[in-house]
């Protein structure tokens, strides 16, 4: 498992390369740069000729090797190799938990210890604070549970240092990307097309039959309903991204209120400063907490000087991805 990258590398942390006792293999961590050497290390571990059940190996990828796999320069990668038993309770529970991809509330992290004395030990941590397996010490397990908010702050896999000095690798297993667009506008048409291409399951919500036409949104589910009803039907949750594009307070306000109540991490609102101020004041008057309003991004989209519906859609999608990948560090 690739656990860290310095400078440049063909794959990102979390990439995996598996080798069986018969020499069969699957996956890649470096597009062929180091797999042959890794395979020997793994077979040695599987044969029992090495003393450790897990080990960390560091590889330097030269500029010449990097050029051969399409990179401008080389770098350094850190790899954890560990033995997987035929029956592993943590992995069994992980696989079983992946069965229902439609659950928007599912948030799980596979946490692997990178500390020397417990290297390779794994636990499955859920957003509700439950844990399956152990990293080797009760104190470490409890510290992991205490860091749940940090573990689920963004997408992706990464190595993290805990306050105790322990180092862990976190593989986040989050619900499939979902986007709810409120308002069947020209910007919505462009956003649906772009978001679908990067893996979002998109739903467009608009009660206005004259605008909500299936021919405009072939890549999305279309709900000709008011936002309050649609959000309940969709079971909107924290990892559902919300783009409010109606520019109509009859749609904007119930959509924003429902998105804040659901704890959605990305809520974007179309409109200039006057619209943003008016919507926030109306939500406060309706009893929406001020802390929830801080999650509303408006005007929606990164400031790239976008002018056309297509350009605005690009800026919105970029902001959505930044929020998911960078968490609180997103611009």
Q: Minimal CA–CA distance to 147: which of 135, 161, 133? A: 161
Mark which of 121, 150, 173 sits at the end of a domain. Answer: 173
128 near 136, Cβ under 8 Å? no
Burial level of 311, CB count in 10 A (0-12/13-18/19+)?
middle
pLDDT of 202 > 80? The answer is yes
Let me know whether 148 and 219 are in one domain.
no
Let me know whether 77 and 124 are in one domain.
no
Let me know whether 139 and 212 are in one domain.
no
Burial level of 1, CB count in 10 A (0-12/13-18/19+)?
buried
Let me know whether 212 and 284 are in one domain.
yes
Q: pLDDT (tens digit, 9 = 90+) per residue, 92-146?
A: 777 776 655 556 667 888 999 999 889 999 999 988 888 989 998 899 999 999 9
Q: pLDDT (tens digit, 9 = 90+) per residue, 215-271?
A: 999 999 999 999 999 999 998 988 899 999 999 999 999 999 999 999 999 999 999
Q: Which residues, including other chains, have CB under 8 Å from residue 19's CB and lie 6 or more apart?
A: 25, 38, 39, 42, 43, 46
Let me know whether 287 and 185 are in one domain.
yes
Let me know whether 99 and 65 are in one domain.
no
Let me know whether 213 and 300 are in one domain.
yes
Least confident stretch, 43-52, 157-166, 233-242, 300-309: 43-52
CA distances from 194 to 115, 217, 309, 310, 317 (A): 42, 12, 12, 9, 8
Q: What is the pLDDT of residue 30?
A: 77
Confidence bin at 209 (pLDDT 50/70/90): very high
Let me know whether 192 and 323 are in one domain.
yes
pTM of the complete model beyond 0.75: yes
Let me know whether 158 and 203 are in one domain.
no
Let me know whether 314 and 217 are in one domain.
yes
Let me know whether 133 and 275 are in one domain.
no
Q: What is the pLDDT of residue 49?
A: 55
The rounded distance, in Å, linking the Cα atoms of 65 and 1 is: 20
CATH at residue 201: 3.40.50.720
Number of domains in the chain: 3
Q: What is the pLDDT of residue 65?
A: 62
**Span 23-47, average pLDDT:** 83
Q: What is the pLDDT of residue 150?
A: 85
CA distances from 75 to 34, 71, 155, 156, 167 (A): 12, 10, 23, 20, 22
Let me know whether 268 and 219 are in one domain.
yes
The rounded distance, in Å, linking the Cα atoms of 166 and 162 is: 5
Mark which of 125, 143, 173 sits at the end of a domain. Answer: 173
Domain with 289, as residue range(s), is: 178-329
φ and ψ at residue 100, rounded to 5 degrees: -105, 90
As a dihedral over the C-alpha atoms of residue 220, residue 224, residue 226, residue 230, rounded to 10 degrees, the angle is -50
Q: pLDDT (tens digit, 9 = 90+) per residue, 61-74?
A: 666 665 554 544 56
Mark which of 51, 82, 113 sits at the end of a domain. Answer: 82
Q: Whose structure tokens read 């690798």?
A: 169
The rounded distance, in Å, linking the Cα atoms of 211 and 233 is: 21
């Amino acid at each position: 498992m690739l656990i860290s990258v310095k400078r440049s590398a063909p794959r990102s942390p979390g990439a995996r390369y598996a080798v069986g006792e018969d020499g069969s293999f699957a996956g890649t961590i470096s597009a062929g740069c180091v797999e042959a050497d890794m395979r020997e290390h793994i077979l040695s571990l599987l044969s029992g000729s090495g003393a450790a059940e897990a080990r960390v190996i560091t590889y330097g990828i030269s500029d010449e090797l990097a050029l051969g796999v399409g990179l401008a320069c080389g770098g350094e990668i850190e790899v954890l190799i560990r033995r997987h038993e035929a029956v592993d309770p943590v992995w069994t529970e992980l696989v079983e938990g992946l069965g229902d991809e439609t659950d928007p509330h599912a948030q799980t992290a596979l946490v692997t210890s990178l500390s020397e004395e417990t290297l390779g030990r794994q636990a499955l941590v859920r957003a509700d604070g439950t844990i399956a397996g152990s990293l080797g010490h009760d104190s470490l397990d409890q510290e992991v549970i205490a860091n749940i908010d940090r573990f689920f702050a963004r997408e992706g896999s990464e190595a993290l240092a805990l306050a105790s000095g322990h180092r862990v690798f976190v593989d986040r297993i989050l619900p499939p990307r979902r986007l709810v667009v409120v308002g069947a506008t020209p910007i919505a048409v462009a956003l649906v097309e772009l978001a679908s291409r990067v893996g979002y399951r998109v739903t467009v919500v608009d009660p206005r039959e004259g605008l909500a036409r299936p021919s405009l949104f072939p890549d999305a589910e279309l709900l000709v309903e008011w936002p309050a009803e649609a959000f309940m039907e969709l079971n909107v949750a924290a990892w559902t991204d919300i783009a409010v594009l109606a520019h109509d307070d009859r749609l904007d306000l119930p959509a924003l209120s429902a998105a804040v109540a659901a704890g959605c991490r990305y809520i974007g609102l179309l409109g200039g400063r006057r619209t943003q101020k008016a919507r926030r004041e109306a939500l406060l008057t309706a009893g929406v907490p001020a802390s929830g309003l801080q999650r509303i991004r408006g005007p929606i989209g990164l400031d790239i000087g976008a002018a056309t519906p297509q350009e605005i859609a690009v800026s919105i999608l970029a902001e959505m991805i930044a929020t998911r990948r960078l968490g609180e560090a997103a611009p």
